[in-house]
A and B are shown apart, each in its own frame.
Chain A
Amino acid sequence: MASANPGVLLAVEGLTVRFRREQESFHAVEGLDLTVRRGETVCLVGESGCGKTVTALSVMGLLPRPAAEIANGRIRFDGIDLAAGAADYPPGIRGRRLAMVFQEPLTSLNPVLSIGDQIAEGLSFHQGLCARRARERACELLAEVGLSRPEQRLSDYPHRLSGGERQRVMIAIALACGPELLIADEPTTALDVTVQAQILRLLRALKEKRDLSMLYITHDLGVVSRIAERVAVMYAGEGVETGPAEEILRRPLHPYSAALLDALPGRGKRGRRLAAVPGAVPHPAARPPGCAFHPRCPYAEPACRRERPALIPLPRARAVRCPVTAATLGGKDAGR
């Protein structure tokens, strides 16, 4: 309970997001629980189409309407209910206390506005700064995110910047009004590895300096190992495992988390077959009954086909939606 626990900044409880398309409807996110405590970085991990971005958009109140709606569950940010609906999204939260960095900096930035104007926009809207003051502040923000010669860059347009610089600008816009929680949706996916490492280092430094909490969405387990304190793994719209990042990377309990790690290539595995997961991620409209992962799972038992497993809490702040591995492995420290 968010109110009962002052450390919790964002609490998502049983979030279900329904998409409608002509006659059919499906749940892109199904019963997701997620918490972000103050000062914590939580990684939401999963493959494409698993509902990571939909979760982020739900928290931001940016779900595409009327196609999508929150069918069930609660989202509370510092005790304030955010899940009520677009019209009722509480004022003074989005862009101010809660900000988001999107995956594609080129399409998320306005090509016909200078980056200075784009940063200043939020400052004048939320904080009522005058044009001159907003521009000064934008300049400070650009310096803070590590852009060289910020005064000259203010009047540059997005196409003049490299991918890494654009993402720094996106971060500056998100940080403009001093948010408490930053949602970053695959911010480094489109970037080269060296630039990715720079952006991750920047985010870590900003988090320390500004005491930010972060919900970081990624499909890349390499990124998880560099930034996450806690991890929530999603599969086909459901949260299947949560726990401290190190524990999950070293000793994944859900067969899907384990499969993701086993499927990673690396030079240590050269000459050996990768443990590929057979089949593909099901479309949320065609989620199998029972455990969504059972058709691809090597440990599936007959019960997995019938009953949707519950999230089972385990010691060391972990939880897993798999009765099979929770029973055999979860209680002990024995490795997989």
Chain B
Amino acid sequence: MNRSTCPDDTPILAARNLVKRYPRGREGFRSRPAAGIEAVSGVSFELARGETLGLVGESGCGKTTLARMLLKLLPADEGRILYRGVDLVPLSETEMRPLRRKIQIVFQDPYGSLNPRLTIGQTLRDGLHLAGVTGRGALRQRIAAVLERVGLPASAADRYPHEFSGGQRQRIGIARALSVEPEILVCDEPVSALDVSIQAQILNLLADLRESLGLSCLFISHDLNVVGYFCRRIAVMVHGRIVEEAPAEALFDAPLHPYTRQLLAAAADPLREVADAASLVGTQAAPSASPDACIAYSACPEAASACRAWAGDLTDAGGGHYVRCLRS
């Protein structure tokens, strides 16, 4: 595939202090509207070319909001999204269109993300059309090629989503993303809806494609076993912020943030002797009421009183390991 070369070591995708706020409804009739929730609250990361960055966090931590913002499916309230150094946030829909094919997404739910009334061919055709592929023959050829790439027969193009199993649908979702030859693939929980044996097939497929197409990936999951398998570098997200980012080995073997340690303790690895996890606080509690408190305060098993008044930034712990914690 012909790729324009990126001469310097500018990250292919970078986020700088991205913020997304959702308004909260009124608590009761005629009361004042409550302050909004920051679903994503100042997230920065860099994705080098050909790299895979894993993003782990529990439900509600802002993973999916972040993914949607990166694709401009949701407008960012603050911050910048840099694609090869170009800020995407101020771009209009028209200006964005040629760049859309560079960044594609694979969604979590293989059932909800395909239009049930379109054949697979029609679904794939739309993206290709916008990417400038025209002519029946050329379209048919491209569709057959991309279906083959994800391990489906060309005849799949004439069938409807309900005729496929979950794993096959996820292949179709991947085909849709790849059809326009993107450089960056954002995978939002691509395997969490699948059975173990199918999950392995899809992870192998994604690994093959990443290799052969030189894709850069942002891989979002709640499952530490999946992220640990697929990603060399991992960021941990809590309540809209990244609290730790490190090479996978360092994160698993020497986690610095108490929340990461808790997550690792809770994730059951069947092949390992399991010690009973230390007291788990959970993250169900809403983001802490005090805006000055550490973001992980309500979820942190080791929070001290000083954490209540601490809102520091990620600090460099050496060796590419970054942590946002007063105590480490």
Interface residues of A (CB under 8 A from B): 47-48, 162-165, 192-198, 201, 219-226, 249, 259-261, 263-267, 269-270, 273-278, 280-281
Contacts and interface: CB of A to CB of B under 8 A. Distances in A.
B222 A193 contact: yes
Given A47-B195, A222-B270, A194 B228 contact: no
A197 B277 contact: yes
A256 to B, nearest CB: 9
12 contacts: A193-B224, A194-B283, A197-B265, A223-B268, A225-B268, A225-B269, A249-B271, A266-B269, A267-B225, A267-B249, A274-B200, A276-B203
Contacts of B276: 201
Nearest to B168: A280
Interface string B181-213: 000000000000001111111011001000000
A265 B200 contact: yes
Contacts of B225: 222, 264-267
Contact of B248 (A192, A194, A267, A275): A267
B48 interface: no
A19 B203 CA distance: 34
Instruction: Tell me the interface secondary structure of chain A in the complex.
Output: helix
Contact of A270 (B165, B223, B229, B283): B229
A195 B58 CA distance: 10
Nearest to A47: B195
Contact of A264 (B165, B196, B198, B201): B196
Given A164-B282, A194-B58, A276-B197, A224 B266 contact: no
B271 A264 contact: yes
Contact of B230 (A47, A195, A221, A265): A265
Contacts of B199: 263, 265
Nearest to A196: B266
B75 to A, nearest CB: 28
Contact of B229 (A198, A260, A265): A265
A47 B196 CA distance: 7
Q: How large is the interface on B (under 10, 10 to 19, 20 to 34, 35 or more residues)?
A: 35 or more
A274 B204 CA distance: 6
B228 A266 contact: yes
Contacts of B143: none
Given A193-B267, A265-B228, 9 more contacts: A193-B268, A194-B281, A201-B276, A263-B197, A264-B196, A265-B199, A270-B230, A274-B200, A280-B197
B20 to A, nearest CB: 21
Contact of B196 (A163, A223, A249, A263): A263
A280 B167 contact: yes
A126 B248 CA distance: 53
Among A162, A164, A197, A265: residue with most chain B CB under 10 A: A265
Contacts of A47: 195-198
A220 B270 CA distance: 9
A280 B277 CA distance: 35
A275 B271 contact: no
A27 B207 CA distance: 37
B261 to A, nearest CB: 11
A173 B126 CA distance: 50
A51 B225 CA distance: 26
B195 A219 contact: yes
A226 B268 contact: yes
B316 to A, nearest CB: 23
A224 B262 CA distance: 20
B111 interface: no
Nearest to A269: B229
Nearest to A259: B197
B9 to A, nearest CB: 23
B284 interface: yes
B229 A266 contact: yes
Given A192-B283, A193-B58, A265-B225, A274 B269 contact: no
Given A198-B282, A265-B229, A221 B266 contact: no
